[in-house]
């Protein structure tokens, strides 16, 4: 008897579908609300904030390294230029001394002559 009653209850309480019209309205409304309320996330994983910081740090380091290298090259060039200039001045001074000596020798020889 009990089993019979429970079987009848199960049959009597079988799920029923809502009307098509209601179902369509419900789906449209929930869909519209969800679109308004929740931004759809892309399916691929979003890059976490830490990764952005790492990328920015790496880029800054690279820029810094390039700048330092450029500056060092400039400095070395300037030093080489100064050295060359000093060598030119030394050579000029030496030449000047030689010329001066030659002039003095010629003059001395001229004054000694009868």
Partner 1 sequence: MNGDEQFARARAGDTAALVALIREHQRSVYSIALRMLGSREAAEDLTQEVFMQLGAKIGSIASKEHLRFWLRQVTANRAIDQLRHAARFPMQPLCEESPLFGDGEEADPLLQRHLRGLLAELSAPARAVLVLRYQEDLDPVDIARALEMPINTVKSHLKRSLESLRTRCGKTTV
Could you say whether residue 89 binds partner 1 (CB under 8 A)?
no
Could you say whether residue 50 binds partner 1 (CB under 8 A)?
no
How many residues sit in the footprint of partner 1 (CB under 8 A)?
32
Nearest distance from C-beta of residue 39 to partner 1, angstroms:
6
Nearest distance from C-beta of residue 50 to partner 1, angstroms:
21
Q: Which is nearer to partner 1, 22 or 54 (CB)?
A: 22
Written in H, E and C, the secondary structure of the chain is: CHHHHHHHHHHHCCCCCCCHHHHHHHHHHHHHHHHHHCCCCCCCCCCCHHHHHHHHHHHHHHHHHHHHHHHHHHHHHHHHHHHHHHHHHHHHHHHHHHHHHHHHHHHHHHHHCC
Could you say whether residue 39 binds partner 1 (CB under 8 A)?
yes
Nearest distance from C-beta of residue 24 to partner 1, angstroms:
10
Could you say whether residue 20 binds partner 1 (CB under 8 A)?
no
């Amino acid at each position: 008897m009990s089993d019979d009653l429970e079987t009848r209850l199960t049959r009597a309480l079988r799920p029923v579908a809502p009307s098509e019209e209601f179902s369509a309205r419900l789906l449209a409304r929930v869909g519209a609300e969800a679109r308004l309320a929740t931004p759809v996330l892309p399916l691929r994983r979003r890059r976490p904030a830490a990764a952005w910081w790492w990328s920015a740090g790496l880029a800054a380091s690279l820029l810094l390294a390039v700048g330092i290298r450029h500056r060092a090259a400039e400095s070395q060039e300037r030093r080489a230029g100064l050295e060359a200039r000093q060598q030119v001045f030394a050579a000029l001074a030496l030449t000047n001394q030689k010329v001066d000596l030659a002039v003095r020798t010629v003059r001395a020889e001229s004054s000694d002559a009868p």
